[in-house]
Amino acid sequence: MAHDFHFASGETLPELRLHYFTLGTPQRDAVLILHDVANDSRPFLASGFLGALFLKGQPLDASRYYLILPDAIGHGDSSKPSDGLRARFPHYDDGDIVRAQYLLLHEGLKIDHLRLVLGIGTGGMETWLWGERYPDFMDALVPLASSPAQIAGRHRLFRDLAIDALRTDPARGLVVAQFAQLLMNSSAAQLQQMLPTGDVADAQFQTLRRKFARSGDADDLLYQYEASRNFDAEPDLGKIRAPLLAINSADDAWNPPELGTLERAIQRVPKGRYVVIPASAETRGHNTAMRARVWRDYVSELLR
């Protein structure tokens, strides 16, 4: 719990609750793992991640590392609009999320150094910010499925669409935004395999429509999408001192490699390099980041 938390917007919250999971035993070799927007840390405990990354002999073996998995402000079991404040909840941004994570580690868990910060999607964007704002706090950084550039182009239009839909008609907007995110997160090949005929696709649409209408909260989702409107880590990339390995996949609709954004940005990171995983039967678009077996060898190499 952080008391009297001041947000970049100028708003304050008397008590900010920060929920987190840990794996392993508290020690100096701590690893911070950050989730994507409109999600929380629970998927990291499923087989696609835990089963490929945290078990004995794997790159982030929980018997060797102390793994910390926080829910960002506005997500999961951390403080969020749906707790009761709704539209009176302070407007937060990615910088606020990172500062709250720092307070959790430094003040709450008494950790003064990290072996690694690894984040996925928006968590990857926050990883870039971690490197800039606390450059001596970690040994290495791995932002996945992300870019340090401000959100523009197709990504910006998606966010504007989702925000507009959620404001105009919260109930319908909740369904529309989740469908749009599903399309952006998946690869075309993945969806074609899952939905090979028109009848199958139509039936799945109805199933997902009912699911999306029951899941999530319109106010929480609105705040989550708005949190990255002012994100732009490019100007301060030169402040990053730790070795940084950015990992994207070629079929990620959020971060298409043809824009050259990552290639341009990485040149300004003193110890930075990047990998774009070619599209294949193993990749899943933006969701490739949750298939740790596809990219875990790169993390092993970095930690060595």
pLDDT at 3 over 90: yes
pLDDT at 181 over 90: yes
Residues 134 and 253 reside in one and the same domain: yes
pLDDT of residue 80: 98
The chain-wide mean pLDDT, for the chain, equals 97
* CATH classification at residue 12: 3.40.50.1820
SS3 at position 71: coil
Residues 65 and 125 reside in one and the same domain: yes
Residue finishing a domain among 172, 205, 223? 223
List the one residue out of 272, 270, 211, 253 whose CA is nearest residue 262. 272
Report the amino acid identity of residue 18. Answer: L
Find the mean pLDDT for residues 163-186: 97
pLDDT at 209 over 80: yes
| Predicted confidence (pLDDT) per residue in 108-118, tens digit | 999 999 999 99
Residues 26 and 169 reside in one and the same domain: no
Q: Which two tokens mark 14?
A: 């008397």
Find the mean pLDDT for residues 55-74: 97
Residues 174 and 125 reside in one and the same domain: no
- C-alpha span between 118 and 131 (Å, rounded): 11
Q: How confident is the model at residue 79 (pLDDT cuts 50, 70, 90)?
A: very high
Q: How distant is the alpha carbon of residue 192 from its chain centre? A: 25
Q: Which residues contact 80 (CB under 8 A, 6 or more apart)?
A: 73, 74, 89, 217, 220, 223
Residues 126 and 181 reside in one and the same domain: no
Residues 110 and 161 reside in one and the same domain: no
pLDDT of residue 28: 74
| Predicted confidence (pLDDT) per residue in 213-264, tens digit | 999 999 999 999 999 999 999 999 999 999 999 999 999 999 999 999 999 9
What is the biggest distance separating any 2 CA atoms in the chain, rounded to whole angstroms? Answer: 55
Domains in the chain, number: 2
Residues 207 and 81 reside in one and the same domain: no
Residue finishing a domain among 177, 206, 223? 223
Q: What is the pTM of this model?
A: 0.97
Residues 31 and 84 reside in one and the same domain: yes
Altogether, the residues listed in the chain come to a count of 304
pLDDT of residue 29: 87
Residue finishing a domain among 200, 223, 246? 223
The helix, strand and coil proportions of the chain, stated in percent and rounded to the nearest 5, come to 45, 15, 40
pLDDT of residue 244: 98
Q: Which two tokens mark 180?
A: 């749009």
pLDDT of residue 194: 95
Residues 242 and 267 reside in one and the same domain: yes
Find the mean pLDDT for residues 120-149: 98
Helix (H) or strand (E) holding 125: helix 122-133
Q: Which two tokens mark 40?
A: 């929380």
| Predicted confidence (pLDDT) per residue in 9-54, tens digit | 999 999 999 999 999 998 778 999 999 999 999 999 998 999 999 9
Question: CA 150, 68, 178, 231: dihedral to nearest 10 degrees?
Answer: -10
**Residue 15 domain boundaries:** 2-150+232-303
Q: How confident is the model at residue 140 (pLDDT cuts 50, 70, 90)?
A: very high
| Predicted confidence (pLDDT) per residue in 261-279, tens digit | 999 999 999 999 999 999 9
Are 36 and 121 in contact by the 8 Å Cβ rule? The answer is: yes
List the one residue out of 110, 80, 129, 134 whose CA is nearest residue 236. 129
